[in-house]
């Protein structure tokens, strides 16, 4: 059976649009780690303004998902890039608030709002070649 990747990423100009495609529990640890590795590789692009993480297909997530997002954020932060979350369910928002990740990452209603928020800040400086 062919499984859909947990995370998928595509670029919209200088913003990486990341979609969480499905709920993933602790039993999917290898798949989460592998799928996030592919996204973090994409996020290494020089001049990346930031990333939008879209939770539209996910109602609930656990600590492994939070750890994966923190890993992505650490990489983005080191590049002077930002991360914004959108379409987070009420339960998802509560998880982010309890874990205090809502203090690190803005949470907005839509991709459009997330992109607008990222575009308010200057793009990350491009790395020297």
Domain 7-119: assigned CATH number = 3.30.750.24
Q: What ranges do the domains of the chain cover? A: 7-119
27-51 mean pLDDT: 87
> Which has more pLDDT, 102 or 26?
102
Higher pLDDT pick, 85 / 2: 85
What pLDDT, in 10s, does the model give residues 78-116? 999 999 999 999 999 999 999 999 999 999 999 999 999
Q: Edge to edge, what strands does the sheet with 15-20 contain?
A: 7-12, 15-20, 50-54, 82-86, 107-108
Find the helix or strand (DSSP H, E) in which 83 lies: strand 82-86
**For residues 121 and 99, what is the distance between their CA atoms, to the nearest angstrom?**
26
Tokens for 22?
């499905």
Mean pLDDT of the chain: 88
Confidence of residue 128 (pLDDT cuts 50, 70, 90): very low
* 68 HSE (CA, 13 A, CB side): 26
Q: What is the CA 81 to chain-centroid distance, rounded?
A: 12
| pTM as predicted | 0.87
63-78 and 29-43 helices, crossing angle to 10°:
20
Task: Spell 31-52 as b/e; 16+ CB within 10 A means b.
Answer: bbeebbeebbebbeeeebbbbb
* pLDDT band, residue 24 (cuts 50/70/90): low
What pLDDT score was predicted for residue 3? Answer: 52
pLDDT of 18 > 60? The answer is yes
């Amino acid at each position: 059976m062919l499984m859909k990747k947990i995370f998928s990423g595509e670029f919209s100009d200088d913003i990486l649009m990341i979609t969480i495609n499905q709920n993933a529990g602790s039993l999917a640890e290898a798949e989460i780690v592998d799928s996030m590795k592919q996204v973090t590789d994409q996020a290494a692009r020089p001049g990346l303004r930031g990333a939008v993480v879209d939770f539209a297909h996910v109602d609930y997530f656990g600590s492994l998902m939070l750890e994966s997002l923190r890993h992505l954020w650490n990489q983005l932060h080191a590049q002077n890039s930002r991360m914004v979350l959108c379409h987070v369910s009420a339960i998802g928002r509560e998880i982010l608030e309890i874990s205090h990740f809502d203090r690190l990452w803005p949470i907005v209603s839509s991709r459009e709002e997330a992109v607008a928020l990222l575009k308010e800040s200057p793009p990350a400086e491009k790395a020297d070649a």
